[in-house]
Amino acid sequence: MVPRRPAWVDAGGVASGCGRGYRPLLQTMITRLSSFDATEKPSQGATRVKRILSQVGPLNLLLVFVPVALAAEHLFHGGPVLVFALSCLAVIPLAGVMGHATEEIADRVGEGVGGLLNATFGNAAELIIAVMALRAGLHDLVKASITGSIIGNVLLVFGLSALAGGLRFEKQRFNKTAASLGSTLLVLSAIGLVVPAIFHMVVRGHAEERALSLEISVALIITYVLSLVFTLRTHRHLYMGDTGEDPPEERAGRAPAALTRPVVKLVVATAGVALMAELLVKAAAETATRLGWSEVFVGVILVAIIGNAAEHSTAVIMALKNRMDAAINIAVGSSIQVALFVAPVLVFLSYAVGPKPMDLLFTPLEVLSVALAVGSMALISQDGESNWMEGVQLLAVYVILGIAFFHLPV
Q: How far is CA 391 from CA 91, 148, 160, 305, in A?
A: 27, 18, 6, 18
* CA 316 remoteness from chain centre: 14
| DSSP three-state, residue 58 | coil
Cα torsion angle, 157, 373, 293, 197, sign: negative
Query: What pLDDT, on a 0 to 100 scale, did the predictor assign at position 116?
Result: 59
Q: Which of 149, 142, 304, 274 is nearest to 213 (CA)?
A: 142
> Burial level of 240, CB count in 10 A (0-12/13-18/19+)?
middle
- The answer to whether the beta carbons of residues 70 and 10 sit under 8 Å apart is no
| DSSP three-state, residue 164 | helix
Query: What pLDDT, on a 0 to 100 scale, did the predictor assign at position 205?
Result: 64
Mean pLDDT of the chain: 78
- The answer to whether the beta carbons of residues 303 and 154 sit under 8 Å apart is no
Q: Write the DSSP symbol of residue 60.
A: G
pTM for the model stands at: 0.76
Domain 15-31+57-406 has CATH 1.20.1510.10: no
The dihedral formed by the CA atoms of 139, 142, 144 and 146, expressed in degrees to the nearest 10: -140
Q: Which amino acid, 44?
A: Q
Query: What pLDDT, on a 0 to 100 scale, did the predictor assign at position 111?
Result: 54
d(CA 63, CA 25) in angstroms, rounded, equals 9
Q: Is 143 left (phi over 0), alpha (psi -120 to 50) or beta?
A: alpha
pLDDT tens-digit map of 311-337: 777 888 889 989 888 888 888 888 888
Q: Is 173 left (phi over 0), alpha (psi -120 to 50) or beta?
A: beta
- The answer to whether the beta carbons of residues 353 and 135 sit under 8 Å apart is yes
Q: How far is CA 394 from CA 241, 297, 384, 398, in A?
A: 23, 19, 16, 6
Q: Which of 262, 242, 394 is nearest to 329 (CA)?
A: 242
Q: Is 57 left (phi over 0), alpha (psi -120 to 50) or beta?
A: left
The contacts found for 99-107 with CB under 8 angstroms, 24 or more apart, are: 99/310, 99/311, 99/314, 100/265, 101/262, 101/263, 101/265, 101/266, 101/269, 102/262, 102/266, 104/257, 104/261, 104/262, 104/265, 105/259, 105/262, 105/263, 105/266, 107/257
- The answer to whether the beta carbons of residues 125 and 98 sit under 8 Å apart is yes
- Residues of the chain scoring pLDDT < 70: 1-59, 110-122, 205-207, 237-257
